[in-house]
Amino acid sequence: MLSIGMVTTVVGEIHYATDETGVRAISAPGVLLEDWLRSTGRSGLRIDQAVQDETDLLGVRAQLKEYMSGERQKFSLPLSYSGTPFQLRVWKALLEIPYGELRSYADIAREIGSPRAARAVGQANNRNPLAIVIPCHRVVASNSGLGGYAGGLASKEFLLQLEQRWCG
């Protein structure tokens, strides 16, 4: 059965969905619940049939709070997500970016063996179902600009600064 929950952070609410296979979706901070429900519905999750996650059985809330307080740099949640083969390669590469470090869209494109696919990497980031846990916020433009982020650039900048503060 699909369960949804929410954790309140200093940068905004983070919504999540879990089921018996693991964590299925996590919103970027500050994304409105209605927008998140619409985007997860497009990805095939039947959020309209979900129940409220009262117990935090998988520890999603706890681990997100630890991350936001600087106590956690790597997540140990069971993840269950799907995407195109290209998206899966991008998301796997994102999981390899160390806490507090940045990569460009072009860097990720080269890492996955598609050096001319920086824009496609950006699109895969945009479809990332597990914000923060799959750290798409650590990917920036080659010109050192922030690029984009589902939760808005202020949220992305906050997450990057948070990691810089705690990684030293």
Q: What is the CATH number of the domain that holds 104?
A: 1.10.10.10
User: Considering 2, 31, 134, 136, which one is annotated as catalytic?
Assistant: 136
Report yes or no on 151 lying in a domain. yes
Q: What is the pLDDT of residue 22?
A: 94
- Please write the tens of the pLDDT for every residue from 1-31: 889 999 999 889 999 999 999 999 999 998 8
Is 167 known to be catalytic? no
Are 95 and 147 part of one and the same domain?
Answer: yes
Based on the fold, state whether residues 56 and 93 are members of the same structural domain: no
pLDDT in tens, 90-128: 999 999 999 999 999 999 999 999 999 999 999 999 999
Supply φ then ψ for residue 55, to 5 degrees. Answer: -100, -15
Split at pLDDT 50, 70, 90, the class of 151 is: confident
Strand partners, 25: 17
Q: Does residue 43 contact residue 80 with C-beta atoms inside 8 Å?
A: no
Tokens standing for residue 158 = 């906050």
Taking alpha carbons only, the member of 22, 78, 16 closest to residue 47 is 16
Q: Are 139 and 102 in contact (CB under 8 A)?
A: yes
Q: Are residues 57 and 89 in the same domain?
A: no
pTM for the structure as a whole: 0.92
Q: Which two tokens stand for residue 75?
A: 């997540």
Domain that holds residue 22: 3-68
Whole-number pLDDT of residue 168: 63
- In a shared domain, residues 101 and 40: no
148 by Cβ neighbours in 10 Å (0-12 / 13-18 / 19+) ranks as: middle
Q: Verify that 89 and 162 share a domain, yes or no.
A: yes
